[in-house]
Structure 1
Amino acid sequence: MIISLIVAMDLNRAIGYKNQLPWKHLPADWDNLKTVTAGKKMIMGRKSYESPDRLWSEVGNVVITRQPNYQTDAGFLVADTLEKALQLVGDVNEVFILGGEEIFRISLSIADRIYLTIVKGTFQADAFFPEFPEGDFREIRHDDYQSDSENPYDYAFIVYERK
């Protein structure tokens, strides 16, 4: 199974503020995310699940939480560890981990790929994408884009693959 992280962060590694994205809607990022994750199962932490910016997969989702008897919507399973979440997704070719900060921190050491959107700005934040050993990964894609009438910020899509 390929374990892929998918994250959007600003120039200071910010990924969230008050359980929402810290920047205005960036349609190109959402379109990229939907394209990259199409048909794939997803794993997310409880806070990401509870976010108004929540994403989900039509083929299966797992929420990681330490809260006993945590209730979710239909189409979501619950696990109390990353290892159990990976077991619950079953035998799949690739699974996407959507965050948040704590889930990214515990999954970086086993990630095979990182799909990274850099929002080229700095924003108020209380959640950050952790530093990762970039020497353990090689950049296999890097596309830069300028802001436009729909996307209010310059941004880049970068894909890293573990060496």
Structure 2
Amino acid sequence: MFGKKRPTPQIDKDQLELIENAQKRIRQKKGLYIHFVIFLLGAVFLIIANTVLGIGKEVTFFGKEWFLYAILAWSFFFVYHLITVFVTHKFMGKAWEKEQLEKLVAKQQVRIEALKSTLDKEEKLIVKSEVFKSEQKVKEAISTGNQELTVIVAAAENDAIGKGNKLIWHLSDDLKRFKSLTNGHHIIMGRKTFESFPKPLPNRTHVVITRQTDYKAPEGVILVNSLEEAIEASKSDVQPYIIGGGEIYKQAMAVADKIELTRVHESFDADTFFPEVDTSIWKETAHKFHNKDDKHDYEFTFLTYERK
């Protein structure tokens, strides 16, 4: 109808490339045909010019008449054109270019993967080296201070120790044991563990590890940035205790001398866990079982481990 535009036919990129390539081939073949016609006409003209008209009859090169070299040169350009259109295009055309490109891309991809693998290995070695250096510094801090660094923890059978920054159970005798062991000592902890207390525990020096530079704590609480610094801050205490949380426990297991573990004989849903005690490194030196009763909802065992 009037005023309605006819839709313009759309040609996608691949189709357009095929059409352009076909047009290019047609031009090449047309050029070859013209070259062939010109070659024949030129050759005939050269022969007539030399034999009939006698042009340049006296001109020779290496004992041969000049027009023979002219025909050979003419033939060379014709053969070159012929090879370009039918041979070179076939073996070194679009398909050949694409194949070569894919080979180059594949080689580059192999090199990239090899480089990534090398970088990953180097990164892991660097991380291991940094961890090793940190552990060595902590060990030096302990040895120079003549300390016995002790980890104290209550963990379930599945190594659960807490959820939502809170204890999962309430065991009266375990709390009494914790108080008895840590009384009068430095207790080292992470910021979240410290914040789980309503207030600082009496008769103990709190050493809190935090990355927050502007963290505010009550008077008497020592703030540090690492476990190494925490041990250094506790050097006046012959037996400082590490009381959590999960990440601090992981770091401490590499340098602690003793573990005071309350093993709760039940499994719990948790978001914080204690590292597995490797019995090839730790030797059990004390064991005391406690039954369930009206003050304790679960059976548990007091265990002491010392480094072999």
TM-score (norm 1): 0.94
Code of the aligned partner of 1:50: E
Instruction: Note if contact 1:14-1:123 (Cα within 8 Å) is conserved in structure 2.
Output: yes
Q: How far is the alpha carbon of 1:109 from its aligned partner?
A: 0.5
Radius of gyration: which is bigger? 2
Q: 2:267 aligns with which of 104, 118, 122?
A: 122
What is the RMSD computed on CA atoms of the aligned residues?
Answer: 1.5
User: Stretches of 4+ moved more than 2 A in 1?
Assistant: 52-57
**Distance in 1, Cα, partners of 2:287 & 2:198:** 25
Distance 1:141 1:54, change over 3 A: farther
**Distance in 1, Cα, partners of 2:191 & 2:184:** 22
* Residue in 2 that maps onto 1:9: 155
Code of the aligned partner of 2:261: L
Distance 1:155 1:140, change over 3 A: same
Note the 1:71-86 alignment, pairs <5 A: 71-86=216-231
The higher relative CO (CA closer than 8 Å, separation ≥ 6) is in 1
TM-score (norm 2): 0.51
* Residue in 2 that maps onto 1:22: 168
**Distance in 2, Cα, partners of 1:55 & 1:14:** 24
Q: How far is the alpha carbon of 1:55 from its aligned partner?
A: 6.6
Instruction: Note if contact 1:20-1:52 (Cα within 8 Å) is conserved in structure 2.
Output: no
Identical counterparts, % of pairs: 38
Code of the aligned partner of 1:121: E
The count of residues paired between Structure 1 and Structure 2 equals 162
**Distance in 1, Cα, partners of 2:277 & 2:208:** 23
**Distance in 2, Cα, partners of 1:82 & 1:54:** 22
Instruction: Note if contact 1:20-1:53 (Cα within 8 Å) is conserved in structure 2.
Output: no
Q: How far is the alpha carbon of 1:53 from its aligned partner?
A: 7.2
**Distance in 2, Cα, partners of 1:132 & 1:12:** 12
Secondary structure of the structure 2 residue equivalent to 1:2: coil
Q: How far is the alpha carbon of 1:74 from its aligned partner?
A: 2.4
**Distance in 2, Cα, partners of 1:119 & 1:55:** 25
Instruction: Note if contact 1:64-1:78 (Cα within 8 Å) is conserved in structure 2.
Output: yes
Q: 1:138 aligns with which of 276, 283, 308?
A: 283
Q: 1:111 aligns with which of 256, 280, 289?
A: 256
Code of the aligned partner of 2:257: D
What whole-Å deviation, never above 9, does each CA across 1:50-95 have from its counterpart, x for those lacking one? 1147773524110001111211122211000001111111322110
- Bigger fraction of residues in helix: 2
